[in-house]
Amino acid sequence: MRNLTLLILAAGKGTRLKSNLPKVLHRLAGKPLIEYVVEAARPLGPSATCVVVGYEAGQVQRALSHLPLQFAVQEPQLGTGHAVQIASSFWQPNRGNLLVLSGDVPLISTETLQQMLCEHTQSAASATLLSTKLDNPARYGRVVRGPRGDVERIVEHKDATAEELRLDEINTGIYCFAVSDLAQVVGQLSAENSQREYYLTDCIGLLKKQNKRVSAVICKDPVEVGGMNSRVELAELERIVRQKKLEQLMLDGVTVIDPASTYVEPGVQVGADTVLYPNVFLEKASVIGARCQIYPNVRISASTLEDGVVVLDSCLISESRVRTGSQVGPFAHLKNHTVVGRQARIGNFVEIKNSQIGDNTKAAHLSYLGDAEIGQDVNVGAGTITCNYDGFTKSKTIVEDGVFVGSDSQLIAPVTVHRGAYIAAGSTIEQDVPEEALAIARSHQVNKEHWARKKRESRRKD
């Protein structure tokens, strides 16, 4: 929309949440509530966006520093009208319209906002509000209409008469104002009410007194405009967001064995014919390819799995990539920008950190590979450790293609095992190993004849 500026109200603490965290920073499906609002409004093309902050203002500003936003600080917090007054230096110089949103209404859709703005433009209204209807309006402010159906005013729940409380149309706290008209009335707001606050809703009545037109668009789905005032409501929003995501995935060809126990954040991508088993968590814009199998109790965060990857039970994969056709797990841990090559196998109780694992390489069990470059067709035996940290610095281990590392070996970084070499089981490797060589680094075995029998006889005498 041309000549549109955006104001998001986000100054409240959220007392009923019983939290020191600002209300709008509580996370919904892995993302702060307010980011959903910003994303819903972005396609409208606002020329600028300002967020009114108050409680823990610095914390909110830091959390949103990655977004192109301006900020106004409301201190003290004296109501929604006061918040708009505080931000007047942002919106008043602008021509056109001001869209006012609440930072705690994360399910609001772009489509609903577009419908509201379209009505505002076509009706040439001074103000357009978004309302909805509830069977039980409870504590919400009521929309009072005139005989012709025009909006006359909005009355807050605590200030409503018995007759007004019977109305089922409620105010959602979302408005679009003509900037020139809002500027004429916002300074006239009064705190003569039960809360001793300046209500933005009173601007509607003030505009009506000037014979200005006020229109309203009814949001058909009340869930979309529901706010969040308690942990109970936050959990319900979480359920709704995740359910919508899973339904979309299933419509796109993903098998979800048990949607009630599967958790996929909205920004995650999953390819067709992938199967998600119960208790799978996919987070932080992870990308899962086609024909993957993700078994129970797996968490994948900020990672990419290419096509045909199998992740067996109880694995954690974070900030990593697993290439086509590989298998991970069970009980494996990949982290810190690890890359696993094609057709590789990472088995049970293997931890890999900040390492590259080549195609067709196997680390089947009980190993730690940190800060390593491991080539193709390598066999990493059980109990292998790359000793990458000396207490001061991290060093790299390089294992070239075709190497065989015997079980229970330690590779003391920095060290390179060259192409085709063998490491004997139980070796501690401190020096580079040449191509095709066999490295043996273990103590000489000594057998003491009859030692065990003599030991047992001695114990019996004791």
Tens of pLDDT, residues 250-287: 999 999 999 999 999 999 999 999 999 999 999 999 99
Q: What value does the mean pLDDT take over residues 410-414?
A: 97
Domain ranges of the chain: 4-225, 252-439
Residue-wise pLDDT for 23-67, tens only, equals 999 999 999 999 999 999 999 999 999 999 999 999 999 999 999
Could you give the CA distance from residue 366 to residue 363 in angstroms, rounded to a whole number? Answer: 8
pLDDT category at 136 given cuts 50, 70, 90 is confident
Residue 459 pLDDT > 90: no
Q: What value does the mean pLDDT take over residues 161-167?
A: 88
Residue-wise pLDDT for 213-230, tens only, equals 999 999 999 999 988 889
Residue 113 pLDDT > 90: yes
In angstroms, what CA-CA distances link 175 with 120, 130, 216, 267, 428?
A: 10, 6, 9, 28, 70
Taking alpha carbons only, the member of 413, 402, 462, 407 closest to residue 437 is 402
CB-based contacts of 261, cutoff 8 Å, min separation 6: 278, 279
Q: Which residue has the higher pLDDT, 189 or 320?
A: 320
> Which of 26, 120, 333, 365 is the catalytic position?
365
What pLDDT does 2 receive?
64
Query: Token pair 């103590």 is at which residue?
Result: 443
pLDDT category at 300 given cuts 50, 70, 90 is very high
Concerning whether 365 is annotated as a catalytic residue, the answer is yes
pLDDT category at 192 given cuts 50, 70, 90 is confident
What pLDDT does 1 receive?
58
pLDDT category at 357 given cuts 50, 70, 90 is very high
Residue 137 pLDDT > 90: no
Residue 398 pLDDT > 90: yes
Q: What value does the mean pLDDT take over residues 447-453?
A: 91
The CATH architecture of the domain made up of 252-439 is: 3 Solenoid (2.160)
In angstroms, what CA-CA distances link 383 with 31, 141, 344, 349, 360?
A: 39, 66, 18, 10, 19
Could you give the CA distance from residue 355 to residue 338 in angstroms, rounded to a whole number? Answer: 5
Q: What value does the mean pLDDT take over residues 359-378?
A: 97
Within this chain, domains 4-225 and 252-439 share the same CATH topology: no
Query: Under CATH, what is the fold of the domain 4-225?
Result: Spore Coat Polysaccharide Biosynthesis Protein SpsA; Chain A (3.90.550)
pLDDT category at 191 given cuts 50, 70, 90 is confident
Residue 403 pLDDT > 70: yes
Residue-wise pLDDT for 96-107, tens only, equals 999 999 999 999
Q: Rounded mean pLDDT of the chain?
A: 94
Could you give the CA distance from residue 78 to residue 276 in angstroms, rounded to a whole number? Answer: 48
What pLDDT does 309 receive?
98
What pLDDT does 164 receive?
86
